[in-house]
Chain A
């Protein structure tokens, strides 16, 4: 499959974001991640640093085979269309999490066992953010492949 610099760059982002955050969410769900905001903060810092390193190294390797191309009107249109889809996912996800917080807060007044922790809320918001970014990147790959 003949991939352009843009597509290779997007694949690097998709795999690194999906891999690192996938591992993190697996740790959260399986209970391996300490359920505290301070632990989450340090894990996030570690993931962000790792993401930057992976992206720099991979782009340097890709750049040694392909000269990066200047983006043109079609690239910007693809970016905008994928961004629009990911925006809906981000907005929808935030509304769902917000609704869960508000409804959960109202229920909590009647039943304290229904309390939603700040750790859970932070992870839900992070999940929505990561999901929207994955859709943004994979949407661009899809539009490049399908033709646009």
Chain B
């Protein structure tokens, strides 16, 4: 699957955190769904945070540390930029 294809997901399945003029997009919900519908609690246990923090990250209400961001990418076995994307460009683009 090409990078372009992998970003073609529904707008509703990605979170968007606005930081000034730019935004942080994530598609954790989509990645969880693709990983045998992994629950938020399972993901939380694997990356060492609480479920509430996963909810906040997924809902784009909290921007995680770089270490947590890398751990999330590691769990789904994808590069970091397929989990988070910074700037005007979203995963739907």
Contact residues of A with B, CB < 8 Å? 4, 6, 69-70, 72-75, 144, 146-148
Contact = CB atoms under 8 A, between A and B. Distances in A.
Contact of A148 (B49, B50, B61): B61
Interface of B: 48-50, 52-53, 56, 59, 61-62, 64-65, 68
Contacts of A72: 48-50, 53
Contacts of B56: 74, 147-148
Q: Do most interface residues of chain B lie in helix, strand or loop, or is the interface mixed?
A: loop
Contacts of B50: 4, 69-70, 72, 74-75
B31 to A, nearest CB: 20
B5 to A, nearest CB: 31
Residue among A69, A144, A146 facing the most chain B CB atoms (10 A cut-off): A69
Contacts of B65: 73
A6 B50 CA distance: 11
A79 to B, nearest CB: 13
Contacts of A6: 52
A35 to B, nearest CB: 46
A148 B52 contact: no
B49 A73 contact: yes
Given A72-B50, A74-B64, A75-B53, 16 more contacts: A4-B50, A4-B52, A6-B52, A72-B49, A72-B53, A73-B49, A73-B53, A73-B64, A74-B49, A74-B50, A74-B56, A75-B50, A147-B56, A147-B59, A147-B61, A148-B56
